[in-house]
Amino acid sequence: MEASSREASEQDAAGGAGTAVLERTDEPRIDGAEQEAEHSKLPHLWASRPWPLRIFLATVPPAVYGSLCGWVLGVSELAYIILAIPVAILLQLLVGLEHRNRAEAAARGFVAGACFGGFILIVNQLLIDTEPKFHLEDPKWQLAIVTAVFGAGLAWLGAGLRGQLERPGRYLDPSQVSPAELVGMAASLVLLGSLWLPWYSTSDSPNSVIESSGTGPNSYPSAWEVFAVFDWLLLAACVAPFVLCWIVMRGHELSWSPGEVTMIVGMTCFVLILCNGVILGKPEPGIEISLSYGWFLGLLASVGLMAGGYLRQAVYTRARKPPGTL
């Protein structure tokens, strides 16, 4: 009896130990597989490549892309703005995603940015020698310094983004996006598009001239042609709804109600557009100059920005608060 009970207890102990070992080895294997699957979606690490390939990736692709932008600079202003600003920013952020070390990413971004800006000038000013469609401030060589500094900063941000993506758990939660964010983002895209549409129109009178853009009679200048600073302020305002959407999906805690900043940005745009057409008058000298459909579309888009911000902070944020909270 004693022997059989001892054998049974030993079997139970062995079985228990076996079960414990199984539980210890099973769980990490599942977590590790999930993490490996998530990390495999990120770009390959730059530091794990051979040095010749690292040097090639840090210099040649940005130089080739800068050469493309340098050629486009002499062909089309709109195409150059798209390639040299939003597309270049996105590409530099992707460069940063290849790094875990932010200092390493910033150094590579600095070199890549310098190559990018330098080859824009080399191709446009030396090789094809065409008049830039987009105005470059003098001295023009400072473009390479600006792109190098911005390249370092964007790559630094990209490396930090990789650190966030490699953390366990969901990085973005699209289910938190409400119709308010969609309204704001749609309005910002309309506002952005309106900047290239005619904001003003001149009559056939010889005195109907817009001095800031140098346009004469029977012309339809856009916001980019008429304004020097105001158009860039409107461009910056277009970013606000997308930042709000990012904050909502990331679930960041704010000291103010989400949507308030977007609503204020929309109100500011509305007042400024109104001032540059009705309150303060039309561009100088203001003789037989009429408002065109681009101006009205921009004004309507600013109302959309206000509406998106208001809905988020006054309707959807309040609706999602837990019961019993104010």
Q: What's the CATH number where 234 sits? A: 1.20.140
Picking from 165, 189, 212, the residue at the C-terminal end of a domain is 165
**Within its chain, how far is the Cα of 138 from the centroid?**
27
pLDDT at 172 over 70: no
What is the reported pLDDT for 316?
66
The whole-chain average pLDDT of the chain stands at 80
Specify whether 161 is located in the same domain as 179.
no
- Is residue 14 included in any domain, yes or no? no
Specify whether 187 is located in the same domain as 289.
yes
What is the reported pLDDT for 20?
44
pLDDT at 277 over 50: yes
| Residue 35 · residue 168 · CB < 8 Å | yes
Specify whether 254 is located in the same domain as 312.
yes
Which SS3 state, helix, strand or coil, does residue 202 take? strand
Give me the number of domains the chain comprises: 2
Specify whether 282 is located in the same domain as 300.
yes
Q: What does the alpha-carbon distance between residue 198 and residue 220 come to, in Å, rounded to a whole number?
A: 5
Provide the token pair at 88: 């270049």
What is the reported pLDDT for 91?
92
Compute how many other C-beta atoms are within 10 angstroms of the C-beta atom of residue 282.
Answer: 20
Picking from 165, 182, 217, the residue at the C-terminal end of a domain is 165
- Is residue 70 included in any domain, yes or no? yes
Tell me which of 9 and 126 has the higher pLDDT: 126
User: Which of 32-46, 83-97, 193-207, 250-264 shows the lowest mean pLDDT across its residues?
Assistant: 32-46
pLDDT at 145 over 60: yes
pLDDT at 47 over 70: yes
The arithmetic mean of pLDDT across residues 114-123, rounded, is 92
Specify whether 271 is located in the same domain as 302.
yes
Specify whether 181 is located in the same domain as 314.
yes
Specify whether 180 is located in the same domain as 157.
no
**Within its chain, how far is the Cα of 205 from the centroid?**
43
What is the reported pLDDT for 114?
94
- Is residue 20 included in any domain, yes or no? no
Q: How confident is the model at residue 326 (pLDDT cuts 50, 70, 90)?
A: very low
Compute how many other C-beta atoms are within 10 angstroms of the C-beta atom of residue 120.
Answer: 29
Task: Read off the pTM.
Answer: 0.56
Specify whether 315 is located in the same domain as 195.
yes
User: Which of 6-15, 142-151, 241-250 shows the lowest mean pLDDT across its residues?
Assistant: 6-15
- Is residue 36 included in any domain, yes or no? no
What is the reported pLDDT for 6?
52
Side chain identity at 322, as an amino acid letter?
Answer: P
Specify whether 158 is located in the same domain as 110.
yes
Model pLDDT for residues 12-32, shown as the tens digit of each residue: 544 444 444 444 444 444 344
Instruction: Give one word for 45, left, alpha or beta, with left for phi > 0 and alpha for psi -120 to 50.
Output: beta
- How many residues appear in the chain? 326
Picking from 165, 196, 220, the residue at the C-terminal end of a domain is 165
Q: Show the domain range for 315.
A: 174-319
The arithmetic mean of pLDDT across residues 187-195, rounded, is 92
Specify whether 114 is located in the same domain as 214.
no
Specify whether 152 is located in the same domain as 62.
yes
What is the reported pLDDT for 62?
94
Residue reference for tokens 């904050």 = 247
Which SS3 state, helix, strand or coil, does residue 198 take? strand
What is the reported pLDDT for 318?
56
Rg (CA), the chain: 28
What is the reported pLDDT for 168?
67
Q: How confident is the model at residue 286 (pLDDT cuts 50, 70, 90)?
A: low
- Is residue 126 included in any domain, yes or no? yes
- Is residue 4 included in any domain, yes or no? no
Model pLDDT for residues 294-324, shown as the tens digit of each residue: 999 999 999 999 998 888 877 766 545 444 4
Exposure of 124 in the CB half-sphere (CA atoms within 13 A)? 27
User: Which of 1-15, 47-61, 152-166 shows the lowest mean pLDDT across its residues?
Assistant: 1-15
- Is residue 158 included in any domain, yes or no? yes
Model pLDDT for residues 122-138, shown as the tens digit of each residue: 998 888 777 888 887 77
Specify whether 178 is located in the same domain as 312.
yes
What is the reported pLDDT for 191?
92
- Is residue 9 included in any domain, yes or no? no
